[in-house]
Structure 1
């Protein structure tokens, strides 16, 4: 059995129900809107976030209609944020597939993103849970906050790990954090259990993002869907280069880092920075930090996950996030 099948095993039926509900949420009778929504459906990916919601819910009780509508609402919110991010970033692709704004235009992308966001709010309202509605609203604010912080950081001359973690906590980690907390709340977990699940999701999300950032230092565009140094080309300094810059205080490389932030860097200069990060322990440091957060996430599984099948799935999930190659 492959890794993803093993992860899904305890919630296979529930995941099928989620996919049906999610796809139905993106059905519409209008021609252009339906065409764009179909385009979005085709970019579904591995469903890692809804899988997490369903697994955590199953760990603390049952996957209910509250769980399902919350999962659909959260996944739709995430989907809308990606559509809008591609407009902001002027991105032509996402994970190797054409973005909505590339296939259509910015106006269509923004309006469809708004439609998907409104559909997310509709589904989360079906939970009739004030705390879940509040969590989704807070997530929307946090994701926007993260994007704005990232834009502001590009303008700043400072290069710090502190800001790096603030950004990924408000972006990737916030999504996993909300998934785990909402999954626990939807199945009647105690406040202590919800908080433990939330921290598990946060640590899991940080691991996920650091692993994603490390990919950017290797030439595997066909496998991963983004070329080497793509983050640097977009003005983003991630953990490997931040560590290398701060541990060596190399003025030439710091000057190149400032050019990255100013969007004034050449492909040759990006290659120099990538090599510099590798040669000065940036990858090894990022991997060590990733395993630190993995250990924090592991403590949740060891303490709060009692069902054997769910434990196996969540353990495989956590290990997959840190060991994946794309």
Structure 2
């Protein structure tokens, strides 16, 4: 993948512990409105599954996709447009549905420091529960005055599902290139970031060129975030992250940390690792983490996160006067801080 030269970041590049809180403090009224709106959606589900839907529509997540809607469509301090709240709810419901399905495929037991829906209700029920969340998201999208929102959300949902399907079909296979990996995360993660920024800017009435720049920002930020999340699976602290770690490797999912490790190993160790990925021998997590440390895998993968963050910042560089630009740039600072914190966790 081509990498352009870095530019000056839009936000302070020095990560701080308060980065996340500082950016999201401005969104308190937006998130409060979103939480209230999402809780209202529970009543839309059939009585038999309302408790299950309510369990999935919790308020403990980072809500980064709704934040992208609100920040891309920023209209001033304390201004919380109803159309942005609805759009944020749509993308959050799509995201929650994908998490339910992800946890089934990964056989994960924890999500946000509690049992996954698959663990609590059983995988068969959880599959259908995820489908119900998808359906409610599209129902909300269809309630906008035009069909544009529903059309974009439907297309993005299809692309997200396609990315998950491709990744699932490639499990236990070592025949995945870096280009394949980027394609998968572009679909399964970056697409929802992209459409979140697109919808926020579009619904706020931004010029068409700015809407496209916002969407491009979201895409690159989404790729960066997914690479970060793949780092978390190896270098995170389960008690701090609040979800089951190590599931990617255990399920034969070839992510960038493993791709970098494969490229760095000697032939005999590379063959052993490929056998673990293929399911031909037990996963040696401790050994692979030791090798990742020795071969500076974290640093190499973190550099890829940085490259995508810089690409996101370049997308908005022509729009310094837009109210959303410094706010979205703040999210880049948040992600930088999260990567740095992960390294020292």
Q: Does 1:33 align with 2:44?
A: no
Provide the rounded CA distance (Å) in 1 between the counterparts of 2:31 and 2:200. Answer: 13
Which range moves more in the overlay, 292-301 or 97-106?
Answer: 292-301
CA distance in 1, matches of 2:244, 2:272: 19
User: 2:10 matched to which residue of 1?
Assistant: none
Note the aligned Cα RMSD (angstroms).
Answer: 2.6
Match among 267, 273, 276 for residue 288 of structure 2: 273
- Equivalent residue number for residue 143 of structure 2: 126
* Alignment of 1:221 onto 2:238: yes
After TM superposition, the score normalised by the length of structure 1 is 0.89
* CA separation of 1:253 and 1:194: change in aligned 2, threshold 3 A: farther
* Alignment match, 1:237: 254
Which residue of structure 2 lines up, in the alignment, with residue 315 of structure 1?
Answer: 329
Q: 2:207: which partner in 1?
A: 190
CA distance in 2, matches of 1:63, 1:43: 18
Cα distance change on mapping 1:10 and 1:226 into 2, 3 Å:
closer
TM-score, scaled to structure 2: 0.84
Query: Per-residue CA shift, 1:153-196, capped at 9, x if unaligned?
Result: 22533242111111111112111111111111111222211111
Aligned to 1:189, the other structure's residue is in SS state coil
The 10-residue stretch of structure 1 (101-110 or 118-127) with the greater mean CA deviation from structure 2:
101-110
Distance 1:86 1:216, change over 3 A: closer
Q: 1:311 to 1:239 in 2, by over 3 A?
A: same
Q: Distance in 2 between matches of 1:30 and 1:133?
A: 22
* Equivalence for 1:299: 314
1:287 aligns with 2:302: yes
Match of 2:228 among 186, 208, 211: 211
More helix per residue: 1 or 2?
Answer: 1
Q: Give the aligned partner of residue 70 of structure 1.
A: 87
Bigger relative contact order (CA 8 A; separation at least 6): 2
Q: Which moved more, 1:226-235 or 1:17-26?
A: 226-235
| Number of the residue aligned with 2:190 | 173
Indicate the residue corresponding to 1:84 in structure 2: 101
Match of 2:219 in 1: 202
8 Å contact 1:203–1:296 — kept in the other structure?
Answer: yes
Which sits farther off after the overlay, 199-208 or 26-35?
26-35
